Amino acid sequence: MISQRLRLEDNVVLSGTHTHSGPAGYFQYTLFMISCKGFMKESIEPLVNGIVKSIDIAHSSIRPGRIFRSRGELEDSSLNRSPHSYLNNPESERHRYTNSQRTKYKWNTDKQVLVLKFTDLDGDGIATTWDTPPTCWSRTRTAGSCLDSNLGDVSPNTKGPHCMNTGLPCDYLNSSCPVGGTKQCGAFGPGADMFESTRIIGHSIYMKAKVSCMVTAVEEVTGVLHLAHQWVNMTDVTVQINATHTGDPFWDRIRDALVGVPSNKTQACHHPKPILFNTGSTMSGRRLREAVKQELQSEGAFRDLEVVIAGLSNIYTHYITTFEEYQVQRYEGASTIYGPHTLSAYLQKYRGLARAIAQDRVSELPVGPEPPFFTEKLFNLLPAPSIDRKPVNTSFGDVLQQVLPVYRPGDVVSVTFVAGNPRNSGDIRDKTFVTVEIHDNRTNTWEVVYTDASWETRFHWLKGSFQRSKATVDWFVPAAAPSGSYRIKHFGNFKEKKDVFKPYEGTSDVFTVTDSFYYQ
């Protein structure tokens, strides 16, 4: 247990990845709840419980270890999705990050990969990477990634934006197409679809981390651990722009009304962005790293420095562009919610934290106002799932489309079940909607080899008419799959009536996986 005398933020940093297609409804601020129709208890409870469980497991298995670091460059895995905004930064600053030996490559994203290798005293361990692009997937699928750094304008869609109806490149300035406008403009790559793109980029990151760990991760990280933490109310920060001028990065307070005419002060603060509701890009990250490095080195106590940004840590504040990028008002600039001087406010605050560490005066830092935990005025506009129904003369879990008798590695096994709405399954931590099982002839038992968390499986739920749903499970048989007898199972719950949920499961026929269809 963490000592009651210590604040949680003195012991734990929640630094994660992000996805464009995970569950929503857990962030308590109105601006973010609007997009997902409100706060959802079913979303936040599994997340909180899972995080606490992970911390508990880590704490109970803690043991002495060592840390090694390695640096490298990861190419062909990302591009800048708003190069027009990036080009609005000063040319002299951009030139510092241009690869002079590759005139074609303008380095408008960070290609740096920092690998930290954590091992126990026997040398067994894991690798963690920073500065890598995270999302290959649309909001219709789930995805995972490495830890995030300054990736606000970074995209893994390396083929770039093209018009889906013509295949031609989108308009450079406004990301639109001659026919269909912005709706027809989409970015893709490097694979033929989201699955292949994720696999390609994930494998590239994995190989970079693997090689770095096995070959070059020999520089050990040692020394004392320093920590400086401070809560900041970004609506109440005065930015010192120069010796004589200051700027307010946001409005004085957010008024109760969601919709209304913003005050002249608010409009001036956010100009040139139009405001609907009163509610980090590559270069921003570079400036922040430089600022922190300068402050730490200014006192002479820190010399050999590697400044790393873990972008999504402890709380989410949306995009942070440079003042110059904000003026262009592409997506990142328009989503910088605290105004054009947001980055200046961050630089100012992080310089203060770094200075406190360098001068050994962290204890003098004010704690700052802790973020509120909202328990009232949380809304949910998403209706509860309706009662589940099934076709006549069927039961939940029955197979609607059966598997074939024989498959080979590389084939796709597909089976469709009568299903309930997955939302009616509640908290499925430590559970699964899908298993792929192989028969063990020695013990006459079935062994689970894949679940819905496996890369080789796909779980598709289709909401049919009259509340009748079906679920299709696909298993992409890997090349290394051993020959044998297999089956696929689906698990779920159906809603019989209000507040009454019942479990069900379905099982496919047994099928064979073999290298050849000709067997005895």
Rounded distance, CA 173 to CA 176, Å? 8
The amino acid at 224: V
Q: Are 148 and 120 in contact (CB under 8 A)?
A: no
What is the chain's length? 520
Strand 457-463 vs strand 412-419: parallel, antiparallel, or unpaired? unpaired
Which candidate in 82, 145, 149, 155 is catalytic?
Answer: 155
Number of neighbours of residue 13 by Cβ within 10 angstroms: 13
Which one-letter amino acid corresponds to residue 223?
G
DSSP three-state, residue 433: coil
Q: CA distances (Å), 27 to each of 7, 30, 140, 236, 441, in order?
A: 22, 8, 19, 21, 49
**Cα 498–502–505 angle (5° rounding)?**
145
**CA distance linking residue 442 with residue 203, whole number of Å:** 36
Beta bridge mates, 114: 71, 130
Contact 17, 312 (CB under 8 A): yes
Contacts of 85 (CB under 8 A, 6+ apart): 153, 281, 321, 325, 328, 330, 332, 333
CB 459 within 8 A of CB 431: no
DSSP letter assigned to residue 313: B
86 marked as part of a ligand binding site:
no
**155 catalytic per annotation:** yes
Helix axis angle, 282-298 relative to 342-358, nearest 10°? Answer: 30
- Alpha-carbon distance of 75 to 85, in angstroms, equals 21
* 18 marked ligand binding residue: yes
Q: 84: closest CA among 188, 178, 161, 168?
A: 161
Which are the catalytic amino acids?
155
Binding residues for Zn(2+): 18, 319
Binding residues: 18, 319
